[in-house]
Amino acid sequence: MPVISRLREDVAAARRRDPAARSATEVLLGYSGLHAIWGYRVTNRLWRRGAFLPARLLSQYVRFLTGVEIHPGATIGRRFFIDHGMGVVIGETAEIGDDVMLYHGVTLGGRSMLHEKRHPSLGDGVIVGAGATILGPVVIGEHSVVGAQAVVLKDAPAYSVITGMPATAKPRSPREKAPDEEFFSYNI
């Protein structure tokens, strides 16, 4: 996808996800979560080309500017949005699907020091509430919602609501299972 189209898609995703967004210009210039994602995309390209040190140094600079730490080795899908941003940490082996939204203070962290898959995988359409912590190589199924301050240590199936410390998953009601077509369509 061309860079300009991707930037437009990101701005449109932020505007759809944040009712406080008044204009594309405001989002483009003032959303630190969006700036962190753009910085990640540059560092991820460097990382994939084997330029590990420059990727890490640039990612730390982006963290300094935005308050969001995204490891350059993470895998992040399209239309990813971080609302408010500050304090978000995404580890090296994290995998994030399309149309995912994180609120401030979310940690996608590891529980192992081994060089293996040690960070969470979030399916498409997952929403993670403020201050939630998801640790280890757990899988959060598509269109699930992780509640604020939840501590997730186990896998959760698609269409779940995940809450508590430690978190437990419960199925969402049948009427919530069909995602809003307008919400997930991006005509750019």
pLDDT single digits (tens) 51-109: 999 999 999 999 999 999 999 999 999 999 999 889 999 999 999 999 999 999 999 99
Contacts of 31 (CB under 8 A, 6+ apart): 14, 18, 21, 85
Against a cut of 0.85, is the pTM above it?
Answer: yes
Q: How far apart are CA 181 and CA 99, in angstroms?
A: 12
In angstroms, the first-to-last Cα distance of the chain is 12
DSSP 1: -
- What is the four-CA torsion angle of 63, 66, 68, 73, rounded to 10 degrees? -50
Residue type, 60: Q
For the stretch 116-160, pLDDT in tens is 899 999 999 999 999 999 999 999 999 999 999 999 999 999 999
Which pLDDT band, with edges at 50, 70 and 90, does 20 fall under?
confident
| Beta-carbon-side half-sphere exposure of residue 128 (alpha carbons within 13 Å) | 37
Q: Can you give the pLDDT at residue 186?
A: 41
Question: Mean pLDDT throughout 26-41?
Answer: 93
- What is the torsion angle, in degrees rounded to the nearest 10, for the CA atoms of residue 31, residue 36, residue 41 and residue 45? 150
**pLDDT higher than threshold 70 for residue 15:** yes
Interaxial angle between packed helices 3-17 and 32-48, expressed in degrees from 0 to 180 and rounded to the nearest 10? 140
What six digits make up the tokens of 119?
Answer: 């960070």
pLDDT tier at 181, thresholds 50, 70, 90: very low
Domains annotated for the chain, with CATH where assigned, are 3-176 (2.160.10.10)
Q: How many CA atoms lie within 13 A of 92 on its CB side?
A: 14
